[in-house]
Structure 1
Amino acid sequence: MAILNVIDRDGRAHELEAVEGWRVMEILRDYKVGIEGVCGGSCDCATCHVVVAPDWAKRLPEPREDEIDALDTLPLIEATSRLSCQIIWSDDLDGLTLTLAEAA
């Protein structure tokens, strides 16, 4: 099974088993590492904000306009900020590393 590497808000590292076709937000919520995902993945709340490791950011599909708009509502974003509800897991993401953004 593929692995998702996550740094939580306390700086602890987690290796999570990921399931093909799931949203990264769903994986994070199932493992209870600190993501809310209030809107359930509809790209509406930005409570699943993560910062993708720079070497991985270029390997992900470009964010759609609605994701960019949701990120723009946050007080602080990074160059590699993404909404985890908009990243669909596939096995070519094995080893993806991300950090949970500070709660807004």
Structure 2
Amino acid sequence: MAKITYIEHDGKEHVIEVKPGQSVMEGAVKNNIPGIDADCGGACACATCHVYVDDAWADKTGKASVMEESMLDFANDLQPTSRLSCQIIVSDALDGLIIRMPENQH
């Protein structure tokens, strides 16, 4: 299990354990973490699971695919570390990952 810290826009933190193989989005949805809507259920067909990966973790989460980059065009307030949480697959190497949520997903 990897511990992931999800930080809401207002600064409230949620630390949960997520099974390897699940996405960061699945971990949030299954644990009722506010701020990740995931309207498409993880199909990379919307941008409602947009998150900011902490700078220290950006290299470890990998680069966005071409499809993910095109979906990020629909997200608000993009930053250099913007990702869709449905596309970040949890592994033991991501133990300690820090994710921040934007103010809104629409």
Consecutive unaligned residues in structure 1, runs of 5 or more: none
2:3 pairs with 1:25: no
Cα distance, 1:13 vs structure 2: 1.1
Return the alpha-carbon distance in structure 2 between the equivalents of residues 51 and 31 of structure 1.
19
Return the alpha-carbon distance in structure 1 between the equivalents of residues 12 and 76 of structure 2.
24
2:103 pairs with 1:102: yes
1:7-61, CA deviations, whole angstroms, 9 ceiling, x for partnerless residues? 1132111111111100110100111112110101111111000000011001112
* TM-score normalized with structure 2 length: 0.92
Q: List aligned pairs for 1:64-75, cutoff 5 A.
A: 64-75=65-76
Corresponding residue for 1:84?
85
Return the alpha-carbon distance in structure 2 between the equivalents of residues 74 and 49 of structure 1.
7
Matched residues, number: 104
Percent of matched pairs sharing the same residue? 42
* TM-score normalized with structure 1 length: 0.94
Return the alpha-carbon distance in structure 1 between the equivalents of residues 24 and 84 of structure 2.
9
Cα distance, 1:77 vs structure 2: 0.4
Structure 1 stretch 85-94 or stretch 28-37: which is displaced more? 28-37
Consecutive unaligned residues in structure 2, runs of 5 or more: none
1:58 is paired with a residue of what secondary structure? helix
Letter of the 1:37 counterpart = A
Q: List aligned pairs for 1:8-19, cutoff 5 A.
A: 8-19=8-19
Structure 1 stretch 77-86 or stretch 66-75: which is displaced more? 66-75
